Amino acid sequence: MAYLFTSESVSEGHPDKIADQISDTLLDNFLAFDEESKVACETLVTTGQVVLAGEVRSNTYLDVQQIARDVINDIGYTKGAYQFSGDSCGVISLIHEQSPDINQGVDRATKEEQGAGDQGMMFGYATTETANFMPLALDISHKMVYELAELRREGNEIPYLRPDAKSQVTIEYSDDNIPQRIVAIVLSTQHDQFMENDEEMLAKIKKDIIEILMPRVIAQLPEYVQELFNNDIKYHINPTGKFVIGGPHGDAGLTGRKIIVDTYGGKGAHGGGAFSGKDPSKVDRSAAYASRHIAKNLVAAGVADEVLVQVSYAIGVVEPTSISVDTYGTSKVAMSNGEIAKKVGEIFDMRPFAIEERLNLRNPIYRETAAYGHMGKEPKKVTKIFKSPYNGEIKKEVELFTWEKLDYVDKVKDAFGL
């Protein structure tokens, strides 16, 4: 019997994502001026206020208030009408020194012996469902809110858009897990009060979303996905009514509260640990990236059509406590899941420092991860400039999304005889 599956995404202007982007931009600045910085930075945003908290150990000093304001303005919160603006909001910093009790579990005589920054389990997932090995419903959901933000910045075709938005896509699958059709699309977008009559205004928003946004989204998709769109799709556009009050004025935002949007949209699994604001010694982040790297390379190499990788750690311990693999019955090799997992442990060094080195994680690469998903994006090299009243200006060339590289495919094929 056919079944339905749904994933959601949120825009860069969603309150939780504002918090994530502030936390990761602070992390980037600490790493830019001191790559050995240990950072666990949390952010709260609400009406007219930002609160920064957490623990940092670094040889650099930053103007964290100004960094937060710059992020907020960059996202698009620049008007007093939003009740939240980078130029006018209060910014309170409660950041303090990292606990030496925690640090003693991480630092060792040599970097290779670095222990895990915490206990826990992390997951990585990949599927042949899309070209970027991500779940289809999530991929479309991300594209919808990303393109909506592009339309907002352009300001021409839909000039009334405000930064806060959410999307959701429901897909019908066959018994053999093949997408059949898109059943429902939900999109809620914050907007100006651009008409006196709310009913007419909502009708205009719905028309613009269906006739302007969706064609731009569909045009980016491969033909086999475009064919899933049909005239029977149920569109729920701002289903509760007008959405003028939004952003941090409408709802408080917190770092780490969109972990399913950040990963696989409910497919696979999640260990519960958030990513943003954490330096790579925190395996919540680095091991989740490494697990995605493993899963993607396994699927790309042809080991299976769908793979879930789990890794777990004990705080302060170098080697992972477990590595497991689930191929959901799609394995193309004559091995059990346990045998595949053992082979994975031989191919990929999952010690915390080895992960940092393999994926070049001690670089300021994290602001770009903090909206529209940490997984599924294209690896690329960029030059980033960081300015500080205390440290001057620094320019760094970095590679983004290294965990998305298919650089282990040949090694995996050799190991599995493919």
pLDDT band at residue 411 using 50, 70 and 90 as cut-offs = very high
Q: Is 139 annotated as a binding residue?
A: no
pLDDT value of position 114: 75
Per-residue pLDDT of 50-90, as tens digits, reads: 999 999 999 999 999 999 999 999 999 999 889 999 999 99
Whether 166 sits among the annotated catalytic residues: the reply is yes
pLDDT value of position 80: 87
pLDDT over 70 for what percent of the chain? 96
Q: Look up residue 98 and give its DSSP letter.
A: P
Whether 251 sits among the annotated catalytic residues: the reply is yes
Counting Cα atoms < 13 Å in the Cβ hemisphere of 267 gives: 31
Whether 282 sits among the annotated catalytic residues: the reply is yes
Determine which one of 143, 191, 258, 296 is catalytic.
Answer: 258
Q: Is 42 annotated as a binding residue?
A: yes
Determine which one of 36, 70, 251, 399 is catalytic.
Answer: 251
Tokens standing for 26? 């602070």
Average of per-residue pLDDT values in the chain? 94
CA distances from 369 to 70, 169, 225, 231, 262 (A): 17, 21, 25, 34, 8
Per-residue pLDDT of 91-137, as tens digits, reads: 999 999 865 555 555 655 566 667 787 889 999 999 999 999 999 99
Whether 143 sits among the annotated catalytic residues: the reply is no
SS3 197: coil
Whether 351 sits among the annotated catalytic residues: the reply is no
pLDDT value of position 107: 58
Quick one: 274 exposed, middle or buried, by C-beta within 10 A (0-12, 13-18, 19+)? buried
Q: Is 393 annotated as a binding residue?
A: no
| Residue range 120-128+282-416, CATH number | 3.30.300.10
Whether 55 sits among the annotated catalytic residues: the reply is yes
Determine which one of 5, 8, 12, 17 is catalytic.
Answer: 17
pTM for this entry: 0.95
The CATH class of 3-9+136-245 is alpha beta
Tokens standing for 86? 């980078």
Q: Is 415 annotated as a binding residue?
A: no
**Domain segments of the chain as ranges:** 3-9+136-245, 120-128+282-416
Which residues on adjacent β-strands are paired with residue 52? Answer: 43, 93
Which residues on adjacent β-strands are paired with residue 385? Answer: 395
d(CA 360, CA 381): 12
pLDDT value of position 400: 98
Phi and psi dihedrals of 333, rounded to 5? -115, 150
Q: Is 223 annotated as a binding residue?
A: no
**CA dihedral in degrees (210, 212, 217, 220; nearest 10)?**
140
Determine which one of 30, 243, 275, 348 is catalytic.
Answer: 243
**CA dihedral in degrees (327, 329, 330, 334; nearest 10)?**
90
Determine which one of 142, 162, 249, 282 is catalytic.
Answer: 282
Q: Is 258 annotated as a binding residue?
A: yes
Q: Is 142 annotated as a binding residue?
A: no
Tell me the longest C-alpha to C-alpha distance in the chain: 69
SS3 199: helix
Whether 208 sits among the annotated catalytic residues: the reply is no
Per-residue pLDDT of 139-155, as tens digits, reads: 999 999 999 999 999 98
pLDDT over 90 for what percent of the chain? 90
- Axis-axis angle for helices 64-75, 15-33 (nearest 10): 130
- Residue 273 confidence (pLDDT) above 60: yes
Mean pLDDT of 39-51: 97
Taking phi over 0 as left and psi of -120 to 50 as alpha, with beta for the rest, 133 belongs to: left
What is the enclosing helix (H) or strand (E) of 94? Answer: strand 90-97
Determine which one of 12, 14, 143, 348 is catalytic.
Answer: 14
What is the residue-wise DSSP string for 107-176? --SSGGGPPBSS-EEEEEEEETTSTTSS-HHHHHHHHHHHHHHHHHHH-SSSTTEEEEEEEEEEEEE-TT
| The length of the chain, given as a count of residues | 418
SS3 60: coil
Say if CB 345 and CB 325 are below 8 A apart: no
Give the burial string for 338-375 (b: 16+ CB within 10 Å, else e). eebbebbbeebebbbbbbbebbebbbbbbbbbbbbbbb
Tokens standing for 184? 């429902």
Q: Examine domains 3-9+136-245 and 120-128+282-416 and report if their fold is the same.
A: yes
Per-residue pLDDT of 326-371, as tens digits, reads: 999 999 999 999 999 999 999 999 999 999 999 999 999 999 999 9
- Residue 397 confidence (pLDDT) above 90: yes
Q: Is 24 annotated as a binding residue?
A: no
Tokens standing for 251? 């709802």
Whether 79 sits among the annotated catalytic residues: the reply is no
